[in-house]
Amino acid sequence: METRHFRLPRWAVAVAAVGLVAVISAVGWSMRAYGTVPAEPAGGSAALAGTRWTLTSIGGGPVFATADGDVPFVQFDSATSASGGDPCNLMQSGYAIAGDRIGFTGWRSTEMACGSRDVVVQQGRYGLALGAAASFRVTGNTLDLLDASGTVVLSFTRAAFVEPVEDVPPTGDPDEPVSNPGR
C-alpha cells in the first residue's frame, strides 16, 4: 500500500503562525492586570478622549493597506475606553493615563486574517506594539506610542472622529420578510 504525504503550502504555514502569535498575544493582553498605571490626574486624558488616529508607521517602518485601502487605527472613545482595528479585526481595550504614561488593560480582538502576506504579518506586529505601549506623546496631529525603553513603536496621524451610533432595535414583526423598495 502506497503512503501519501500531504504538504501544506508555505503561505498556509505563515498564516497559521501569525494566527498563533495573535492568539498568544491576545491571551497575554487579557491577563494583564487592570490598574498597572496609576490613577490619572484630573483632566489627564483630555489629549486623547474623543480622538481617532490612523497608523502611519509601525516600528519605524511602512504601513500596509488592504486592497480597499484600509489601514490600522485606534480611537479613544472616552477617558477610559479605546477601540480600533488592524483593519481586518475590531479591537477594544480599557486604558488609563498618568502624565505621559499610558496603560491598556488588555486588548480584545476578533481573529481574522485578510489581505496580503504583508497585511497579515502587520496584524500581529500591530497588536504586539499596542500591548507594549507604556507612554505617549501628541505633537500637533501626530500621536506616538512608546515602549518602556522610550522607543516609538507606533505613530499615528489624527483622523476625523465619528461618534459611535447606538444600536436601535428593529421594529415590526420579526417573522416578516424585509423588503427593499429601491429594488
Q: Is the pLDDT reported for residue 98 higher than 70? A: yes
145-155 confidence digits (pLDDT tens): 999 999 999 99
Could you tell me how far CA 144 lies from the centroid of its own chain? 15
**What average pLDDT does the chain have?**
74
* C-alpha closest to that of 87 among 51, 63, 105, 107: 63
Q: Do residues 115 and 88 touch, judged by C-beta distance below 8 A? A: yes
Q: Answer for the pair 114, 88: CB distance below 8 angstroms, yes or no.
A: yes
pTM: 0.65
Peptide bond into 181 cis (omega under 30): no
CATH number of 34-159: 2.40.128.270
Q: Domain map of the chain by residue range? A: 34-159
